[in-house]
Protein backbone atom coordinates (compact mmCIF):
# COMPACT_ATOMS: atom_id res chain seq x y z
CA UNK A 1 0.00 0.00 0.00
CA UNK A 2 1.40 3.40 -1.02
CA UNK A 3 0.78 6.26 1.38
CA UNK A 4 0.74 9.85 0.14
CA UNK A 5 2.91 11.43 2.82
CA UNK A 6 2.17 15.01 1.76
CA UNK A 7 -1.59 14.62 2.18
CA UNK A 8 -1.10 12.74 5.45
CA UNK A 9 1.03 15.55 6.83
CA UNK A 10 -1.50 18.18 5.73
CA UNK A 11 -4.25 16.38 7.65
CA UNK A 12 -2.01 16.22 10.72
CA UNK A 13 -1.04 19.90 10.50
CA UNK A 14 -4.67 20.98 9.98
CA UNK A 15 -5.77 18.91 12.99
CA UNK A 16 -3.00 20.37 15.15
CA UNK A 17 -4.01 23.93 14.19
CA UNK A 18 -7.65 23.26 15.16
CA UNK A 19 -6.59 21.76 18.51
CA UNK A 20 -4.29 24.75 19.15
CA UNK A 21 -7.08 27.25 18.46
CA UNK A 22 -9.43 25.44 20.84
CA UNK A 23 -6.73 25.22 23.53
CA UNK A 24 -5.88 28.92 23.17
CA UNK A 25 -9.56 29.83 23.50
CA UNK A 26 -9.89 27.76 26.68
CA UNK A 27 -6.71 29.18 28.22
CA UNK A 28 -7.55 32.81 27.44
CA UNK A 29 -11.32 32.94 27.88
CA UNK A 30 -11.68 30.18 30.50
CA UNK A 31 -15.29 29.52 29.41
CA UNK A 32 -17.94 28.40 31.85
CA UNK A 33 -20.16 25.68 30.44
CA UNK A 34 -23.91 26.27 30.36
CA UNK A 35 -25.89 24.14 32.83
CA UNK A 36 -28.23 21.37 31.71
CA UNK A 37 -30.94 21.49 34.36
CA UNK A 38 -32.41 18.09 33.45
CA UNK A 39 -29.09 16.38 34.21
CA UNK A 40 -28.32 18.00 37.57
CA UNK A 41 -29.53 14.97 39.52
CA UNK A 42 -29.50 12.31 36.77
CA UNK A 43 -26.08 12.75 35.19
CA UNK A 44 -24.95 9.35 36.49
CA UNK A 45 -27.88 7.58 34.83
CA UNK A 46 -27.27 9.51 31.62
CA UNK A 47 -23.57 8.61 31.58
CA UNK A 48 -24.14 4.94 32.34
CA UNK A 49 -26.96 4.67 29.83
CA UNK A 50 -24.95 6.44 27.13
CA UNK A 51 -21.81 4.35 27.63
CA UNK A 52 -23.82 1.12 27.76
CA UNK A 53 -25.69 2.01 24.57
CA UNK A 54 -22.44 2.85 22.76
CA UNK A 55 -20.85 -0.44 23.81
CA UNK A 56 -23.92 -2.50 22.87
CA UNK A 57 -24.15 -0.76 19.48
CA UNK A 58 -20.42 -1.29 18.96
CA UNK A 59 -20.76 -5.02 19.66
CA UNK A 60 -23.85 -5.26 17.45
CA UNK A 61 -22.25 -3.22 14.67
CA UNK A 62 -19.05 -5.24 14.73
CA UNK A 63 -20.93 -8.54 14.56
CA UNK A 64 -23.05 -7.23 11.69
CA UNK A 65 -19.93 -6.08 9.84
CA UNK A 66 -18.29 -9.47 10.38
CA UNK A 67 -21.41 -11.18 9.02
CA UNK A 68 -21.32 -9.03 5.88
CA UNK A 69 -17.57 -9.41 5.34
CA UNK A 70 -17.75 -13.19 5.71
CA UNK A 71 -20.33 -13.20 2.90
CA UNK A 72 -23.21 -13.92 5.27
CA UNK A 73 -22.04 -17.49 5.83
CA UNK A 74 -22.40 -17.45 9.62
CA UNK A 75 -26.03 -16.71 10.65
CA UNK A 76 -24.99 -16.62 14.32
CA UNK A 77 -23.20 -13.31 13.75
CA UNK A 78 -26.36 -11.74 12.33
CA UNK A 79 -28.58 -13.15 15.10
CA UNK A 80 -26.22 -11.94 17.83
CA UNK A 81 -26.00 -8.52 16.19
CA UNK A 82 -29.77 -8.06 16.11
CA UNK A 83 -29.99 -9.37 19.70
CA UNK A 84 -27.55 -6.74 21.00
CA UNK A 85 -29.35 -3.97 19.10
CA UNK A 86 -32.67 -5.04 20.65
CA UNK A 87 -31.12 -5.26 24.13
CA UNK A 88 -29.92 -1.66 23.83
CA UNK A 89 -33.54 -0.41 23.83
CA UNK A 90 -33.59 -0.53 27.64
CA UNK A 91 -30.53 1.70 27.91
CA UNK A 92 -31.62 4.14 25.24
CA UNK A 93 -34.62 4.65 27.52
CA UNK A 94 -32.25 5.41 30.41
CA UNK A 95 -30.65 8.18 28.35
CA UNK A 96 -33.96 9.87 27.58
CA UNK A 97 -35.20 9.31 31.13
CA UNK A 98 -32.15 11.14 32.45
CA UNK A 99 -32.86 13.99 30.02
CA UNK A 100 -36.33 14.40 31.51
CA UNK A 101 -38.59 12.54 29.06
CA UNK A 102 -41.33 11.04 31.26
CA UNK A 103 -42.37 8.32 28.80
CA UNK A 104 -38.83 6.91 28.94
CA UNK A 105 -39.27 6.09 32.63
CA UNK A 106 -39.86 2.34 32.71
CA UNK A 107 -41.22 2.58 36.25
CA UNK A 108 -44.00 4.98 35.26
CA UNK A 109 -46.46 2.14 34.68
CA UNK A 110 -46.57 -1.56 33.84
CA UNK A 111 -47.11 -0.62 30.20
CA UNK A 112 -43.99 1.54 30.16
CA UNK A 113 -42.00 -1.22 31.82
CA UNK A 114 -43.08 -3.75 29.20
CA UNK A 115 -42.33 -1.28 26.37
CA UNK A 116 -38.72 -0.80 27.50
CA UNK A 117 -38.00 -4.35 28.74
CA UNK A 118 -39.45 -6.72 26.12
CA UNK A 119 -36.03 -6.75 24.46
CA UNK A 120 -34.45 -8.69 27.32
CA UNK A 121 -36.32 -11.99 26.62
CA UNK A 122 -35.59 -11.50 22.90
CA UNK A 123 -31.90 -10.96 23.65
CA UNK A 124 -31.78 -14.09 25.84
CA UNK A 125 -33.36 -16.24 23.13
CA UNK A 126 -31.29 -14.73 20.31
CA UNK A 127 -27.94 -15.18 22.04
CA UNK A 128 -28.81 -18.78 22.91
CA UNK A 129 -30.02 -19.54 19.38
CA UNK A 130 -26.83 -18.14 17.87
CA UNK A 131 -24.55 -20.37 19.91
CA UNK A 132 -26.75 -23.46 19.40
CA UNK A 133 -26.45 -23.03 15.62
CA UNK A 134 -22.69 -23.35 16.05
CA UNK A 135 -22.83 -26.27 18.47
CA UNK A 136 -25.35 -28.51 16.69
CA UNK A 137 -26.87 -29.05 13.27
CA UNK A 138 -30.03 -30.53 14.80
CA UNK A 139 -32.76 -27.99 14.00
CA UNK A 140 -34.89 -29.08 16.95
CA UNK A 141 -32.03 -28.63 19.41
CA UNK A 142 -31.41 -25.20 17.93
CA UNK A 143 -34.98 -23.93 17.96
CA UNK A 144 -36.82 -25.59 20.85
CA UNK A 145 -34.62 -24.23 23.72
CA UNK A 146 -34.45 -20.77 22.11
CA UNK A 147 -38.18 -20.51 21.46
CA UNK A 148 -38.87 -21.84 24.97
CA UNK A 149 -36.72 -19.10 26.50
CA UNK A 150 -38.44 -16.44 24.38
CA UNK A 151 -41.95 -17.63 25.27
CA UNK A 152 -41.13 -18.09 28.96
CA UNK A 153 -39.53 -14.65 29.21
CA UNK A 154 -42.39 -12.84 27.51
CA UNK A 155 -44.90 -14.93 29.47
CA UNK A 156 -43.35 -13.87 32.77
CA UNK A 157 -43.52 -10.23 31.71
CA UNK A 158 -47.19 -10.51 30.77
CA UNK A 159 -48.16 -12.57 33.84
CA UNK A 160 -46.18 -10.50 36.32
CA UNK A 161 -47.18 -7.11 34.97
CA UNK A 162 -50.79 -7.60 33.92
CA UNK A 163 -52.31 -10.77 35.40
CA UNK A 164 -50.85 -11.97 38.73
CA UNK A 165 -52.04 -9.68 41.57
CA UNK A 166 -49.12 -7.98 43.32
CA UNK A 167 -48.58 -4.81 45.42
CA UNK A 168 -45.65 -3.94 43.16
CA UNK A 169 -46.04 -5.73 39.81
CA UNK A 170 -42.90 -4.21 38.26
CA UNK A 171 -40.66 -5.36 41.08
CA UNK A 172 -42.37 -8.77 41.22
CA UNK A 173 -41.92 -9.23 37.47
CA UNK A 174 -38.28 -8.22 37.59
CA UNK A 175 -37.51 -10.72 40.36
CA UNK A 176 -39.42 -13.45 38.53
CA UNK A 177 -37.79 -12.84 35.16
CA UNK A 178 -34.24 -12.33 36.38
CA UNK A 179 -34.04 -15.40 38.58
CA UNK A 180 -35.88 -17.85 36.34
CA UNK A 181 -34.76 -16.76 32.87
CA UNK A 182 -32.12 -14.04 32.66
CA UNK A 183 -29.56 -15.19 35.23
CA UNK A 184 -29.70 -18.89 34.22
CA UNK A 185 -29.31 -17.93 30.55
CA UNK A 186 -26.34 -15.66 31.30
CA UNK A 187 -24.68 -18.48 33.25
CA UNK A 188 -25.44 -20.92 30.43
CA UNK A 189 -23.89 -18.57 27.86
CA UNK A 190 -20.85 -18.04 30.09
CA UNK A 191 -20.36 -21.79 30.40
CA UNK A 192 -20.91 -22.59 26.71
CA UNK A 193 -18.55 -19.90 25.44
CA UNK A 194 -15.87 -20.77 28.02
CA UNK A 195 -16.19 -24.51 27.28
CA UNK A 196 -16.09 -23.87 23.53
CA UNK A 197 -12.96 -21.75 23.99
CA UNK A 198 -11.36 -24.47 26.08
CA UNK A 199 -12.09 -27.16 23.52
CA UNK A 200 -11.04 -25.01 20.55
CA UNK A 201 -8.02 -23.66 22.45
CA UNK A 202 -9.10 -20.11 21.66
CA UNK A 203 -9.06 -17.08 23.95
CA UNK A 204 -11.88 -15.13 22.28
CA UNK A 205 -14.76 -17.38 23.39
CA UNK A 206 -13.33 -17.49 26.91
CA UNK A 207 -13.43 -13.68 27.09
CA UNK A 208 -17.04 -13.67 25.87
CA UNK A 209 -17.84 -16.27 28.54
CA UNK A 210 -16.16 -14.12 31.19
CA UNK A 211 -18.23 -11.14 30.08
CA UNK A 212 -21.50 -13.05 30.39
CA UNK A 213 -20.48 -14.33 33.81
CA UNK A 214 -19.79 -10.80 35.10
CA UNK A 215 -23.04 -9.65 33.48
CA UNK A 216 -24.86 -12.34 35.44
CA UNK A 217 -23.19 -11.29 38.70
CA UNK A 218 -24.13 -7.64 38.11
CA UNK A 219 -27.81 -8.55 37.75
CA UNK A 220 -27.61 -10.60 40.95
CA UNK A 221 -26.73 -7.32 42.64
CA UNK A 222 -29.93 -5.66 41.47
CA UNK A 223 -32.29 -7.39 43.91
CA UNK A 224 -30.74 -6.37 47.28
CA UNK A 225 -29.64 -2.86 46.23
CA UNK A 226 -32.32 -1.38 44.00
CA UNK A 227 -34.27 0.03 46.95
CA UNK A 228 -34.27 3.80 47.32
CA UNK A 229 -32.22 4.02 50.53
CA UNK A 230 -29.36 1.97 49.01
CA UNK A 231 -29.87 2.83 45.34
CA UNK A 232 -26.39 4.37 45.14
CA UNK A 233 -25.01 0.83 45.46
CA UNK A 234 -27.27 -0.24 42.60
CA UNK A 235 -25.37 2.20 40.39
CA UNK A 236 -22.10 0.52 41.37
CA UNK A 237 -23.58 -2.75 40.11
CA UNK A 238 -24.57 -0.83 36.97
CA UNK A 239 -20.90 0.12 36.54
CA UNK A 240 -19.96 -3.55 36.90
CA UNK A 241 -22.53 -4.45 34.25
CA UNK A 242 -20.99 -1.84 31.96
CA UNK A 243 -17.56 -3.39 32.49
CA UNK A 244 -18.93 -6.83 31.57
CA UNK A 245 -19.55 -5.63 28.01
CA UNK A 246 -15.84 -4.95 27.46
CA UNK A 247 -14.63 -8.60 27.52
CA UNK A 248 -17.65 -9.53 25.39
CA UNK A 249 -16.61 -7.01 22.73
CA UNK A 250 -12.92 -7.96 22.95
CA UNK A 251 -13.84 -11.65 22.84
CA UNK A 252 -15.86 -11.32 19.64
CA UNK A 253 -13.06 -9.31 18.02
CA UNK A 254 -10.46 -11.87 19.07
CA UNK A 255 -12.65 -14.72 17.82
CA UNK A 256 -12.54 -13.27 14.31
CA UNK A 257 -8.75 -12.85 14.53
CA UNK A 258 -8.30 -16.43 15.71
CA UNK A 259 -10.53 -17.69 12.89
CA UNK A 260 -8.25 -16.08 10.30
CA UNK A 261 -5.22 -17.89 11.70
CA UNK A 262 -6.80 -21.35 11.64
The rounded percent of the chain whose pLDDT value lies above 70 is 96
Rounded Cα gap, residues 89 and 112, in angstroms = 12
**Segments making up each domain of the chain, as ranges:** 39-260
pLDDT for position 261? 65
Of the candidates 224, 48, 195, the one whose C-alpha atom is nearest the C-alpha of residue 135 is 195
The helix or strand, by DSSP H or E, that contains position 194, with its residue range, turns out to be helix 183-200
Q: What percent of the chain has pLDDT over 90?
A: 85
Average pLDDT on 52-70 reads 97
pLDDT at 122 over 90: yes
Q: Is the pLDDT of residue 259 over 80?
A: no
DSSP assignment of 162-184 equals: IIS--SSHHHHHHHHHIIIIIHH
> What is the spatial distance between Cα 47 and Cα 115, in angstroms, rounded to a whole number?
22
| Average pLDDT for the chain | 93
Band of pLDDT at residue 61, cut at 50, 70 and 90: very high
Q: What sign has the CA pseudo-torsion 256, 209, 127, 60?
A: negative
Q: Establish how many alpha carbons lie within 13 A of residue 32's alpha carbon, considering only the half-sphere containing its beta carbon.
A: 1
* pLDDT band at residue 37 under the 50/70/90 scheme: very high
Looking at residue 2, its pLDDT comes to 55
Sign of the alpha-carbon dihedral angle for 184, 188, 194, 198: positive
Tell me what pLDDT residue 9 has. Answer: 81
Confidence (pLDDT) at 197:
92
Q: Residue 260: its pLDDT value, please?
A: 72
Q: Give the pLDDT confidence of 193-204 residue by residue, as tens digits.
A: 999 999 888 999
pTM, two decimals, is 0.92
Would you tell me which CATH number, out of the four given (2.30.30, 1.20.1070, 3.30.360, 1.10.260), belongs to the domain 39-260? 1.20.1070
Amino acid sequence: MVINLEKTHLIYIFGLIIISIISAYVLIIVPHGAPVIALESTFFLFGLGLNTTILLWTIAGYLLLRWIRTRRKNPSLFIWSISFFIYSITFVAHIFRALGFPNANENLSVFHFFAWRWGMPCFSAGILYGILIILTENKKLQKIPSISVLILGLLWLVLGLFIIPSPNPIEFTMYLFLHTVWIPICFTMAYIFAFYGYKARETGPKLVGLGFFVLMVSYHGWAPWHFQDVVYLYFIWYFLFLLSLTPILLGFVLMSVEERHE
